[in-house]
Structure 1
Amino acid sequence: MSNSNSKQWSSATPGYIIFLVDQSGSMAEKYAENKNKAEFTSLVINRTINELVNTNSDGEKVKDRVFVSIIGYGGKGGNSVDDVRSDYLSSFADNPLRIEKLKKKVSDGAGGLIEIDEEMPIFIEPLANGLTPMGDALSFAKQLIEGWLQKKPENPAPVIINVSDGMPYSGNNGNELNKALTVAKEIMAFQTTDGNPLIFNAHIGNGVPESMFEDSEAALYDDHAKFLFSISSSIPAAYKAAAGKHGLSVKENSRGFVSNAKPETLIQFINFGSSGGSDRIA
């Protein structure tokens, strides 16, 4: 379908974004801005949801043009999968967990910077605890998408943004890896009037070269990257335009995937993945 993944989000036909958040123990590793991987990932997701709220606000009213699920995996220990929050945007806007005061540097209009207090609503707290049950997390996302598509078959195709720093844990006789692969393929095979659901993967690593929007796993250095590449969707045309807006370059057969993401890239990638492809607001 030439119009795949191009249907506009609207109050009548809301989009659906699922954030899958790795909360395994290794997310406690130092990352950026004096934060560990879990803290920085939570910060980016909280900011992204607040930006979605602002973009979809008309005066005081938040328009429910998108439904958001935040799913944590590993954070409650072992193989836990936790539906942190699933709501329409207006509910996020009305009921944050808490409001955090952050210092933000802004221009003083005379070439200098001043620090101001910024209030940021918080929807997910950082956790770094258990294993990496990515297969279970994808299975849960699959159930959510199936339920959504039964009720809303005409809506824009759902999008999963998975943020992880590694492989599904190798216990369970390696079955977790196979499960993640199988379930991801099943999700990407669902048919909607707007094409197939999309899975975009952000791998937060340390050290090895960063790569983004590759079109072949030959360019990738490590097994984590190759695995996540294999469960990432090809980027549809509508999203290629969005990538350009975010200053990201995309090849003909690029997958929605970044490996060893630096902090700035993680922010860009999540903005791209949650943009609905283009400025798809009706």
Structure 2
Amino acid sequence: MSNNSKQWSSANPGYIIFLIDQSGSMGEDYTGGKNKAEFTSLVINRTINDLIFTNSAGDKIKDRVFISLIGYGGKGGNSVDDIRSDYLSAFADSPLRIEKIKKKVSDGAGGLVEIEEEMAMYVEPTCPRNGLTPMAEALDFAKQLIEGWITKKPDNPAPVIINVSDGMPYTGSNPIDDIEKTISTANSIMNINTGDGNPLIFNVHLGQPPFNETKFSSTENEVSDEEGKILFKISSKVPETYREAARKHEFVTDVDSRGFVSNAGPETLIKFINFGSSGGTDRII
């Protein structure tokens, strides 16, 4: 069995599932006047736009990847919401809306100039105050999606889950049960066998300033906080095929590194999502 080395292609598309924490705490300030929910949705929207651009040939979008956007807590309580599941071309054809985004670019003389660019939006930020963190339930839904996908497409690249959260799994009941259920559900996903190895789970835990980041740890001892330790436990080891992508985004990895960042600041969040959604190295045909 190969180890997460199959190339994404139109014939054998990859599959990325974004699990997006939309609990009440995602309303906390994060960066540049944006809260965690707003910045996270901006990064995911930009990533989808980048994937569309990368997979464009003239006017045609090559469907080399299928994307599911799954929110949890965003409709209040323990909701798990299939926001959208589509091939790239369908995302490109029908965004929710187009937004003007301010962006700083080089002025060619060593300075920066602010420009406005239009960006297609596919997921809206939401973080209702009564939104809890049903992470195990979101993972269980992702597991069902993966099982359905590999039944239909057994020869495709192994699916990748990218989970963005700022806290512990919590459903309002027993926190220890929530944690155990989250870990066991994640393990059951990481033990699914496909022709390309096991599905991958990468986790990014959003921090608070001054962002005491821990990146791609090899052991749980390197992680200082409880939320981080739980997410470390449910993160896949970075396959060899993804280590070049990690290096491109200035992450240092070794053979035991997990695809996980704790207390991530804004720049690290952007780089981590680019790494996780890269299909490993740029192995796109």
- Bin for the TM-score computed over the shorter chain: over 0.9
Q: 2:184 aligns with which of 182, 185, 207?
A: 182
Q: Is residue 235 of structure 1 aligned with residue 238 of structure 2?
A: yes
Which residue does 2:31 correspond to in 1?
32
Which residue does 1:197 correspond to in 2?
199
Aligned 1:46-61 pairs, distance under 5 A: 46-61=45-60
Which residue does 2:264 correspond to in 1?
261
Q: Which moved more, 1:220-229 or 1:98-107?
A: 98-107
Distance between the aligned counterparts of 1:112 and 1:204, measured in 2? 30
Amino acid across the alignment from 1:163: V
Q: Which moved more, 1:148-157 or 1:103-112?
A: 103-112
Given that 1:170 and 1:177 are in contact with CA atoms closer than 8 Å, whether structure 2 keeps it comes out as no
Distance between the aligned counterparts of 2:112 and 2:190, measured in 1? 46
Q: 2:247 aligns with which of 244, 250, 257?
A: 244
Shift of the alpha carbon at 1:112?
4.0
Amino-acid identity (%): 68
Shift of the alpha carbon at 1:173?
2.2
Distance between the aligned counterparts of 1:64 and 1:77, measured in 2? 33
Distance between the aligned counterparts of 1:35 and 1:210, measured in 2? 20
Q: Which moved more, 1:241-250 or 1:143-152?
A: 241-250
Distance between the aligned counterparts of 2:243 and 2:110, measured in 1? 36
Shift of the alpha carbon at 1:15?
0.1
Amino acid across the alignment from 2:168: M
Distance between the aligned counterparts of 1:14 and 1:159, measured in 2? 12
String of CA shifts for 1:97-144, please: whole Å, max 9, x gaps.
000011222233344433322000000000112000001100100000
Q: Is residue 141 of structure 1 aligned with residue 142 of structure 2?
A: yes
Distance between the aligned counterparts of 1:261 and 1:105, measured in 2? 22
Structure 2: segments with no counterpart, 5+ residues: none
Given that 1:27 and 1:37 are in contact with CA atoms closer than 8 Å, whether structure 2 keeps it comes out as yes
Q: Is residue 161 of structure 1 aligned with residue 162 of structure 2?
A: yes
Which residue does 1:73 correspond to in 2?
72
Amino acid across the alignment from 2:212: P
Amino acid across the alignment from 2:254: K
Which residue does 2:282 correspond to in 1?
279
Aligned 1:119-138 pairs, distance under 5 A: 119-129=118-128, 130-138=131-139
Q: How many residues align?
A: 281
Amino acid across the alignment from 1:148: W
Q: Which moved more, 1:176-185 or 1:233-242?
A: 176-185
Q: Which moved more, 1:105-114 or 1:25-34?
A: 105-114
String of CA shifts for 1:174-229, please: whole Å, max 9, x gaps.
32222211110000000011000000000002256210000001111111010000
TM-score by length of 2: 0.96
Distance between the aligned counterparts of 1:172 and 1:103, measured in 2? 42
Q: Which moved more, 1:98-107 or 1:40-49?
A: 98-107
Structure 1: segments with no counterpart, 5+ residues: none
String of CA shifts for 1:142-180, please: whole Å, max 9, x gaps.
000000000000000000000000000163223222221
Given that 1:185 and 1:231 are in contact with CA atoms closer than 8 Å, whether structure 2 keeps it comes out as yes
Change (3 A) 1:103 1:214: same
Which residue does 2:113 correspond to in 1?
114
Amino acid across the alignment from 1:210: E
Cα RMSD between the aligned structures?
Answer: 1.2
